[in-house]
Structure 1
């Protein structure tokens, strides 16, 4: 992997050819980045298949510097973290003996605790994220392809999507006075097998029906704090068609920015933020809405890194040159 040289718009924060990195997010104060890490020799396909490879959680200052372990446990593979902006707690998918479950960790480390969702004992929970109130989790049960809202106080789970209409993947929630509660998730029509080229972004209002954002490929959505912008990963670029995308086992991807208005109307088409060769994915917004953190240059079984992209307050990329991978 080529080194990403410093740029006013995009810069690498963490990169080591001996490790694979994924799923970064900002701390509540925006001064640190949390991510998952594993040795490259153990990383091939483990995020996709979760075969028990020892992923661990680490943090690093947003400007780069010394990394600190947040959770390193040989008996628990810690994956897909999300940092609560309200309570400061971290939720993640912990995999022990091949079983994925929800776990909580204090923001300053310590001993993780398992979240008991008794009504769904056979669920396979992945990609947990926080509702803005800090009291509920949004999570996808991959055994049923269904998104649930989990109440942490009682462990109750309420289904939000209908797998008879759409198979749901990674989901995120936003809430603000103007837009109300919205959920965005990656999904595909029922049947067949999962493929990134078949996923599209879906939007669902509170107690409403899920509706596709558009008919083009997209996954890994993330809302801005105000809910007026949505960033997602997509293998769409220039003249690529859906058929072109399906020819790749792991198609190259780029980040797209979608400005949002009152649903179902979106404020114009989604615009690319990064070049395909950067292979950016899994972006999350900073609390101030001015930066994104994401994977850069990730390849299954190969080196990757964590990068930060500067974004103007309006959600438009800053006018500066991209130095790519």
Structure 2
């Protein structure tokens, strides 16, 4: 087939100044610039007295170091507009209210700081005051209940028990004349960083004048044990997830002594308690597993947390549990029969009720549950989007409920929820006017029953100026995970509407293994890591073609990232129904991914044992096994610093495509990791993807902003 070179996408913003009346102004087509430059509202942090909400606001920029992330404050009753609390070059993180609702603490690196430290800002006036000088930095501050001390986390050097020893260790390492990493145990990398030998610890900083911080955990036998460590925190780093006991005399935290077991077993954690004065930690509750989000009820009688055991399954549903305090002992499950995972929860001031946010089929609903446990009661099921990051002030006479609310066409804003009327009202409106000016629509949902008898949920996203009488090319977008889902929320990495903006319909399928559909559905991917989910996606394409006359299923491309990239590679190997494929951070060989990724034992569970065992999955469900069948033009992208799906997988895919003389294009982003986070890199990524789609799909719009050469090497005119 003769290749026709096209330029890449760079759509100018439609609208602006017009002689037409304001109400008649046309809505603008979403561009990368519009999407990227949207201000991003952080989670609400409500003062104990319920009068104020603090949140972070990210004001993005395409310029290096141009983004601004500051703390803002707004009254919860909406009596005043939000105002900026901080205005510095460095971002502030983990803001925490003092018990008096007058001061806040946060972590930041300001001028003169070598590492981030804890600062305290009095809302009565004045500048924030630095209260720590930890030589290893300070993060995640927590106020003692009396407001006279702050607990914080820090990564410390082996054998260093105090600030002086850590300072000396840091200076000695800086003075080394060689550069070398040494490992004796797995794991050695995480996401985009090499793991070093520092370990997490807990420090207490009294707020009396001249007081110094003290490391309470490092001197313990627990912290000095082989394999001691914290739990992974989101996209990087570790945390001990600490909390103060209600009387301020103890600290609780989660930790493991099985860190070095990661190569051959699940790593279990314990929930510990220890005196704030020091001493050996003891277990709060005896069962090992995974613990998260510990919170005390305001009356101090119960400790609540998320917990799941870790068996030989690919997915274990975390459920809410309760332990009596201060007694401790066996935990009581609160949501044991509830077949959904709680995303976030908050406790009412009377300590009787929990409010939960729960993902369910791309949405996120609000539930209510007695602290004693039972069946969660559905309070609000939004028709689009959903709630997250829920918070309830502890010292109010009545319950006040706050959360973030957003959808794929509504950037997240902070809202106040009225459970009685089942409605919410905005406290912030940072992006509401901008969102209303964009030509985008909420996804259309549909379900079908797969060949294996499973109900599969899907969403359809339509392009701007949508005309149901037309036929549109199709972009099949496959989500990562697989223990994840396509949510009705705005994202930057693969934004549904930005992909659709060039004139495509986007299909999103929650295949077997996705979350938000119960534990059994998520577990059913075991021993079938690629073939089954891919078959469901192909069936979804057929089903969408039957239901929606405006979709041209014979004129389709498929793409995805991470596990979605694995599926893209599988589509390359097993079908020719798509005219082109896009794969970012995609696995092509299960063996290579097992051997080079930053974790491996879970991959053995998914594939039926180690690679040298008798499981055929390793070979049968590796796309490279079917390299002789590869024919579909393919765009490959990868971050050079990605340790989750190391670049070796992308290079294997590239070599196979080139060996089979398949039209292909390889993009390596040297500064990117598993995500492409730099704004200009992201903008170029979308240009390249849109250029690739426009090159191969019939009726696709001409694009601008390239050029890209045709796969035969000729130059675009």
Which interval holds the TM-score relative to the shorter structure? 0.5 to 0.7
* Separation (CA, whole Å) in 2 of partners of 1:287 and 1:322: 23
Change (3 A) 1:212 1:267: closer
- Say whether residues 1:68 and 2:82 are aligned partners: yes
Q: Which residue of 2 aligns with 1:204?
A: 273
- Say whether residues 1:31 and 2:51 are aligned partners: yes
Q: 1:164 aligns with which of 210, 224, 234?
A: 224
Displacement of 1:107 = 2.3
Q: Which residue of 1 aligns with 2:99?
A: 85
Q: Which residue of 2 aligns with 1:18?
A: 38
Q: Which residue of 2 aligns with 1:112?
A: 128
Q: Which residue of 1 aligns with 2:358?
A: 275
Q: How does 1:147-296 map to 2 (within 5 A)?
A: 147-153=202-208, 154-160=211-217, 162-165=222-225, 166-168=228-230, 169=239, 170-176=241-247, 181-189=249-257, 191=259, 202-206=271-275, 207-211=279-283, 213=285, 214-232=287-305, 243-244=314-315, 256=320, 258=322, 260-265=324-329, 268-271=332-335, 272=342, 273-276=356-359, 277-278=363-364, 280-281=388-389, 283=391, 285-288=393-396, 290-291=399-400, 293=402
Q: What is the Cα-based RMSD across aligned positions, in Å?
A: 4.5
* Separation (CA, whole Å) in 2 of partners of 1:115 and 1:64: 32
SS at match of 2:246: strand
- Say whether residues 1:136 and 2:149 are aligned partners: yes
Displacement of 1:204 = 0.7
* Separation (CA, whole Å) in 2 of partners of 1:64 and 1:27: 15
Contact 2:46 2:391 in 1 (8 A): no
Contact 1:187 1:201 in 2 (8 A): yes
Contact 2:242 2:252 in 1 (8 A): yes
Displacement of 1:22 = 3.4
Per-residue Cα deviation, 1:271-307 (whole angstroms, up to 9, x for no partner):
34221253734756532484565556699xx954445
Change (3 A) 1:294 1:124: farther
Contact 1:218 1:233 in 2 (8 A): yes
* Separation (CA, whole Å) in 2 of partners of 1:100 and 1:63: 33
Per-residue Cα deviation, 1:225-260 (whole angstroms, up to 9, x for no partner):
3323445567x69x9987327xxxxxxx98946353
Moved more, 58-67 or 166-175: 58-67
Contact 1:201 1:221 in 2 (8 A): no
Change (3 A) 1:76 1:146: same
Q: 2:200 aligns with which of 134, 137, 145?
A: 145
* Separation (CA, whole Å) in 1 of partners of 2:319 and 2:401: 10
Displacement of 1:171 = 1.7
Moved more, 267-276 or 104-113: 267-276
* Separation (CA, whole Å) in 2 of partners of 1:106 and 1:224: 26
Change (3 A) 1:127 1:209: same
* Separation (CA, whole Å) in 1 of partners of 2:68 and 2:261: 27
* Separation (CA, whole Å) in 1 of partners of 2:150 and 2:294: 16
Question: Would you tell me which structure has more strand in proportion to its own residues?
Answer: 1
Change (3 A) 1:77 1:145: same
Contact 2:320 2:333 in 1 (8 A): no
Change (3 A) 1:60 1:189: farther
**Count of matched residue positions in the alignment of Structure 1 and Structure 2:** 275
SS at match of 2:119: strand
* Separation (CA, whole Å) in 1 of partners of 2:391 and 2:56: 14
Q: 2:116 aligns with which of 100, 125, 133?
A: 100
* Separation (CA, whole Å) in 1 of partners of 2:117 and 2:104: 14
Per-residue Cα deviation, 1:134-170 (whole angstroms, up to 9, x for no partner):
1111111134301112112212324146433543423
Change (3 A) 1:183 1:67: farther
SS at match of 1:133: coil
Answer 1 or 2: higher relative contact order, Cα 8 Å, separation at least 6. 1
Displacement of 1:103 = 0.5
* Separation (CA, whole Å) in 2 of partners of 1:232 and 1:298: 27
* Separation (CA, whole Å) in 2 of partners of 1:101 and 1:83: 17
Per-residue Cα deviation, 1:182-201 (whole angstroms, up to 9, x for no partner):
4233444463699xx96857
* Separation (CA, whole Å) in 1 of partners of 2:395 and 2:205: 23
Moved more, 152-161 or 133-142: 152-161
* Separation (CA, whole Å) in 1 of partners of 2:254 and 2:126: 32
Moved more, 32-41 or 76-85: 32-41
Change (3 A) 1:274 1:145: same
User: Gaps spanning 5+ residues in structure 2: where?
Assistant: 1-36, 157-198, 231-238, 336-341, 343-355, 365-386, 425-487, 490-717
SS at match of 2:41: strand
Contact 1:92 1:104 in 2 (8 A): yes
Q: Which residue of 1 aligns with 2:550?
A: none
TM-score between both structures, scaled by the size of structure 2: 0.33
Contact 1:199 1:218 in 2 (8 A): no
Contact 2:405 2:412 in 1 (8 A): yes
SS at match of 2:89: coil
Contact 2:258 2:267 in 1 (8 A): no
Contact 1:254 1:274 in 2 (8 A): no
SS at match of 2:290: coil
